[in-house]
Structure 1
Amino acid sequence: MTSTAAPAPVLVGCSHGTDSPAGRQAIASILVDIALARPDLDVREAFVDVQQPELPDVVVGALPDAPTVVVPLLLSTGFHVKTDVAQAVDRPGAAAGRPMGPDPRLVEILADRLADAGLRAGDAVVVAAAGSSDPEAAHAVAEVVAGLAARLGQPVTVGYGSGSHPRVPVAVADARADLDPAGRVVVASYLLAPGFFLDRVHESGADVVAAPLAPDPRLAQIALDRYDEVRAQASTTWSPSVTAGA
């Protein structure tokens, strides 16, 4: 009696979705880098809001051919991870990886973006995060902020776009109140791509706003690590007879 090994799971890179053309291009760059790094993989895109195709449709469409792993192209957990992604993979042959953050490589990218923006001695650094009401998301952001502070060797504070406090303009104002006259407030954009939240960061009153995380090939490596962590889980529950509605 012979058995056939399951094919390599499809990697579905799932992001929030955005109306920003630059944001769409930045997110697409992650999927391009994943495909370049692992040309053996079937890499597909999906979204939980704004853009098409929708995540459940992509998962259902992939499962008849192969196990399927959804990698959230999101920086922390929250509603989309715990509800949208979880529901989409609640079927045999599907599994979900962890969100992108926290991860030391994200800290390194943030540090590089600040260097590119011209961070100098005497500047105050504020990390701008999208924000979430989920406590786990706040802990994840705090871990990245602490890592960046250690990497830079200086204090780093945080502001949020929504869901948590302080909001970015308040964090920027607080940082400015403690500055020497020659110092600047520089924002590290803990955001994957341009879009609504980055636009609001540029309106926060900061002197300098560093670029978001994408594009950067290290993001693809993080996504592939998340995929590899759960690929066996997807494969062991998949069979060639699996149906979309199973």
Structure 2
Amino acid sequence: MTAVLIACAHGTRFEEGRVVVRALLEVLRDTAPAGVEVHEAYVDVHGPYVTDVVAAARERTDDIVIVPLLLSTGYHTEVDLVEAADGIPVAPALGPHPVLAEILADRVRAVGSEQGDAVVLAAAGSTRPGAVVDVERMADLLGSAGVEGPVIAAYAAASDPRIAAAVETARAAGHRTVAASYVLAPGHFSRVIEAAGADLTTAPIGADPRLATVVWERWAAARRPVAAAR
């Protein structure tokens, strides 16, 4: 029987962001285990909406897992996707994860970060308390991934400190600043990060092939109870 991974991104009105998500979906399809299909879905902004994708997949198989293409827990992972799944396993968000820390560390080095720079881990932000816990854990992992200098978690919305404020605080302490864009694709939040005034700003994580290892790890862990019940 076919197995289905529903890869569910947030959705964006920016075409460049949609291009990145579609590129990541192609990476996932290229790396999929035999017999596993990757279906595209979105939780907001535009279709194909996850509820419709779930309904269509259910007509073909009961071996379905939703993996959020989201970097931290939040309302979408805790409420929207759980409701859309209606009993189908929903994997955790992609972060925090050491592979994401490696990608971010590479991005920070690529823009020319030097010893002593303060790195602002610039996340979207969420009203859900678990999101802040996830981002702060990600900041710890980024520090362990070889980034020199202080790492400060900051947010574009909903949580404090905001990115621009974190940049100014670090600069006042004598640091050159690097905003590490902790967003998946270009869009509204990447523009907020770019406008925050850091001396250097990395690109969004994008369709880095290493993300596929995180997605398939999440899928396998969420699918185990399904497979065991067969």
Q: TM-score, normalised by structure 1?
A: 0.88
Task: Specify which of 49, 58, 66 is matched with residue 63 of structure 1.
Answer: 58
| CA drift at 1:237 | 6.8
Larger Rg over CA atoms: 1
Q: Does 1:20 align with 2:36?
A: no
Distance (Å, rounded) in 1 between the aligned partners of 2:157 and 2:173: 24
- SS at 1:217 equivalent: coil
Flag the 1:178–1:207 CA change in 2: closer, same or farther, 3 A: same
Consecutive unaligned residues of structure 1, counting only runs of 5 or more, are 1-6, 239-246
Percent identity reads 41
Q: Does the aligned pair in 1 maintain the 2:120–2:177 contact within 8 Å? A: yes
Q: Which residue of 2 aligns with 1:50?
A: 45
Q: Does 1:107 align with 2:101?
A: yes
Q: Which residue of 1 aligns with 2:82?
A: 86
More relative contact order, 1 or 2 (CA 8 Å, 6+ apart): 1
Q: Does 1:76 align with 2:72?
A: yes
Q: What residue identity is the alignment partner of 2:53?
A: V
After TM superposition, the runs of 4+ consecutive aligned structure 1 residues lying more than 2 A away are 232-238
Q: Does 1:123 align with 2:117?
A: yes
Aligned-residue RMSD, C-alpha? 1.5
Alignment: residue pair count? 227
Consecutive unaligned residues of structure 2, counting only runs of 5 or more, are none
Q: Does 1:33 align with 2:27?
A: yes
Task: Specify which of 159, 167, 172 is matched with residue 164 of structure 1.
Answer: 159
Q: Which residue of 2 aligns with 1:220?
A: 212
- SS at 2:122 equivalent: strand
- SS at 2:67 equivalent: strand
Q: What residue identity is the alignment partner of 1:21?
A: E
- SS at 1:176 equivalent: helix
Q: TM-score, normalised by structure 2?
A: 0.94
| CA drift at 1:232 | 3.4
